[in-house]
Amino acid sequence: MTGPEGAPPHLVVHPDKERMARATAARLVTAVVDAQTARGGAHVALTGGRNGNALLAALAGAPGRDAVDWSRVDLWWGDERFLPDGDPDRNHTQAREAFLDAVPLDPARVHPMPASDGPHGDDVDAAAEAYAAELAAAAGRGGGTGGGPLPFDVLLLGLGPDTHVASLFPGHPAVREDRRAVVGVREAPKPPPTRISLTLPAVRAAREVWLLAAGGDKAEAAAGALAADDPLRTPAAGARGRERTLWILDEAAAALLPDSARG
Residues that bind ligand 6PG (CB under 6 A): 47-52, 79, 81, 91, 158-160, 164-166, 190
Residue type, 82: F
Q: Which residue is nearest to ligand 6PG (CB)?
A: 158
Contact, 98 vs 63, CB < 8 A?
no
- Helices 50-60 and 17-39 meet at what angle, rounded to 10? 70
| Orientation angle between helical segments 91-98 and 50-60, nearest 10 degrees | 30
Considering beta carbons, is residue 47 or 234 the nearer one to ligand 6PG? 47
Query: Least distance to ligand 6PG from the beta carbon of 259, Å?
Result: 25
In 3D space, the residue among 156, 6, 162, 153 whose CA is nearest the CA of residue 74 turns out to be 153
- Min dist. Cβ of residue 218 to ligand 6PG (A): 7
Nearer to ligand 6PG (CB atom), residue 41 or residue 183? 183
Q: What is the largest CA-CA distance in the chain?
A: 51
Smallest distance from ligand 6PG to CB 111, Å: 16
- C-beta of 53: minimal distance to ligand 6PG in Å? 8
Q: How far is the CB of 212 from ligand 6PG (least distance, A)?
A: 7
Shorter beta-carbon distance to ligand 6PG: residue 47 or 245: 47
Cβ distance to ligand 6PG smaller for residue 52 or 149: 52
For residues 118 and 150, the answer to whether their CB atoms sit within 8 Å is no
**Is residue 42 a contact partner of residue 74, using CB atoms and an 8 Å limit?**
yes
- Judge whether 80 and 48 are in contact, CB under 8 Å: yes
Nearer to ligand 6PG, 27 or 190 (CB): 190
Nearest residue (CB) to ligand 6PG, 24 versus 51 = 51
Smallest distance, ligand 6PG to C-beta of residue 197, A = 8
